[in-house]
Structure 1
Amino acid sequence: MCAMQTPEFWHIDCPAARCFTPLSWLYAGLGKMRRDFAKTYKASVPVICVGNVVAGGAGKTPICLSLGEFFKKQNKTPVFLSYGYGGIYGGPLVVDPHAHQAIHVGDEALLLTRTGITVIGEDRVAASKLAVSEGADVIVMDDGFQNPYLHKDLSLLVVDGEYGVGNGRIIPAGPLREKFDHAVDRADTIVLYGQDKHHLFARIPSSKPILQARMVPDARQIEKLKGRKIMAFAGIGRPQKFYHMLRDYGLNVIETHDFPDHHYFNSSEIVLLIKEAERQGAHLVTTAKDLVRIEQNLQENIEPIHVRVEWSDPGQLEKLLSRFM
């Protein structure tokens, strides 16, 4: 399975990025045409989409998990809908964490099953019908903001305030799936992670609701790891985001190793990391998302850092979701 390495020029505007501008026009044009002419299906239960405008690394899955936990506390049955990116199965199918591995259904789908029923499917409409047959009161869709075929009753656009929109250009010249302003217009609510270091607030209409949140690691894990040497590795959209979080919470990260997003680790890569950590007397850590892409017999040597979403104003979120109760 091929994993994607984010081009360096996606982060800054430079001649290399500008060379791809004609292809960006084509990508944007095809996307608009698909949205303009698509026939949209409305599911029999509400569909909440958690999407983004930047390719990879926005933190959508933890937000989906947070929404799922909210609905479960209200005695509702949320069913997660995932594309199954990185997996070989096209679906639609119900993910079985005891039978399926990341190579089959993707890493995100396996994480979602820890909170609730999860359906994968390249065809979102067919997948939504399967979700309803599984008893869904509400469908929480991980990604799919740019997919026009399934009607969304609520669209949350997730934005990383630390990263912003990269060089501001559309794929392949930059990281954007579409123009930022166009995505904001279509979204019902913006979810802003972290500090607004790129002045995105100024580009969001004052009438558009904004939820602020941050990613918080498991406090017990952090306390246990404090004072130890930490070697961290990650194959996610923006590994630096993970490393910064560890350091921000006081961990002594002495070395890091980056891999492409959704990278499937082979045993030799992991054995090398384990040996290097042992040589330096360090504790080897990664993300929970990365761990499911590692052979099970090697997982015991690695500590996955579990994270959750902490909302600045939980009442604002509850008010937003109350109409689906």
Structure 2
Amino acid sequence: MRPPAFWHQPPGWQAAVLAPLAALYAAGTARRVAKGPGFKADGPVICIGNLNAGGVGKTPTVIALLQHLRLRAHVVSRGYGGTLTGPVQVQDRVHTADQVGDEPLLLSAFAPTWVAKDRAQGVRAAQGAGAELILLDDGFQNPGVAKDLSIVVVDAAVGFGNGRVIPAGPLREPVAVGLARADMVLSIGDDTAQARFDQDWGAAIRVPHLRGHLAPLQMGMDWAGLRAFAFAGIGRPEKFFQTLAQQGADVVGQQALDDHQTLTTALLTRLERDAKALNAQLVTTEKDAARLPAAFRPKVLTLPVRLQLGDTAALDAALARLTDGN
């Protein structure tokens, strides 16, 4: 489902009406968090989490950290959208997104990646396979594994929305409560979005604040003048459409899908028909491409993006403390 518009507007009557349910949701999150800390791994555990429901850029953050780390890191994910309970190591030639989720399938190209509904079991399996450091993809509100470093990721363009908890707003827990457990905040967006985020939420951040932006991965593809029919099932599909246009593509058609939406043959056949009617090429995101059925993979182009971090001094210092002696 797409998030309701009022989640990202100043609190109004909808948020007020839903406040009692939001209080119950927040209380449930607080009770769950209070059960921790859980399993303590032998090596460092870094959690990449968020306060907002939906996509904020955690997967690009995990990829960026994997490329930044010196130790042999494994990724542990719950495998949202997948059917396997695990723990199982993701194999891109064996598993499908329906089994393990699209994000773990993508991450498995960068590091050994494990799917486990019980995150502690996933961490144990990763350790048994030689992991020196664990990256928890999500799980900030899950106490099953003790974290040595927790990074809260936020989309700078939308911030923490109206500051209210589900269903009155987009948050899993109140900002002050969540950030009290965070070791760092990473906001992702361009300079304009970062300035707005600083104005709206800067005073709430009492931990090191990292900044970054997503940039297309240059792979020799010339997008200039390409007639594109773009589709995306990510947190904010409009960001992808804008990025594709900025690369010079002529985006003559676009289809915003729900986050993690299943790419059925019927849906893709319709998109293919619509693209042909516009004499356009189907283009999607790297994460959506992981969910494509085999028959459609040769028919769809992918525009991958990577997270470019700004000043990493605070991150480097924290990683040095965690990995000292390794």
TM-score by length of 2: 0.92
CA shift, 1:191, in A, is: 0.6
**Aligned twin of 1:302:** 300
> Are positions 1:203 and 2:203 aligned together?
yes
**Aligned twin of 2:211:** 212
Query: Secondary structure of 1:37's match?
Result: coil
The aligned runs of 1:14-93 (5 Å cut-off) are 14-71=12-69, 74=70, 76-93=71-88
Query: Secondary structure of 1:48's match?
Result: strand
Match of 2:179 among 179, 184, 191: 184
Match of 1:268 among 261, 266, 269: 266
1:22 counterpart letter in structure 2: P
CA shift, 1:148, in A, is: 1.6
Contact 1:6 1:237 survives alignment (8 Å): no
**Aligned twin of 2:317:** 319
Percent identity of the aligned residues?
Answer: 37
CA shift, 1:201, in A, is: 4.6
**Aligned twin of 1:119:** 114
Query: Secondary structure of 2:211's match?
Result: strand
Seen in structure 2, the aligned counterparts of structure 1 residues 200 and 158 have a Cα distance that, compared at 3 Å, is farther
**Aligned twin of 1:164:** 159
> Are positions 1:11 and 2:2 aligned together?
no
Q: Output the CA distance in 1 between the equivalents of 2:301 and 2:120.
A: 37
CA deviation string 1:158-187 (max 9, x = no partner) = 111111122221112211011112222211
Q: Output the CA distance in 1 between the equivalents of 2:159 and 2:242.
A: 16
1:8 counterpart letter in structure 2: A
- The two structures, once aligned, show a CA RMSD in angstroms of 1.7
Q: Output the CA distance in 2 between the equivalents of 1:289 and 1:270.
A: 16
1:155 counterpart letter in structure 2: S
Seen in structure 2, the aligned counterparts of structure 1 residues 284 and 85 have a Cα distance that, compared at 3 Å, is same
Deviates more, 1:121-130 or 1:192-201: 192-201
Query: Secondary structure of 1:300's match?
Result: helix
TM-score by length of 1: 0.92
Deviates more, 1:27-36 or 1:128-137: 27-36
Unaligned runs of 5+ in 1: none
Unaligned runs of 5+ in 2: none
Query: Secondary structure of 1:268's match?
Result: helix
Contact 1:277 1:283 survives alignment (8 Å): yes
Contact 1:181 1:203 survives alignment (8 Å): no
1:309 counterpart letter in structure 2: L
1:68 counterpart letter in structure 2: L
**Aligned twin of 1:257:** 255
Contact 1:51 1:155 survives alignment (8 Å): yes
CA shift, 1:204, in A, is: 3.3
Query: Secondary structure of 1:224's match?
Result: coil
Seen in structure 2, the aligned counterparts of structure 1 residues 209 and 315 have a Cα distance that, compared at 3 Å, is closer
Q: Output the CA distance in 2 between the equivalents of 1:165 and 1:95.
A: 32
2:258 counterpart letter in structure 1: P
The alignment of Structure 1 onto Structure 2 pairs a total of residues equal to: 317
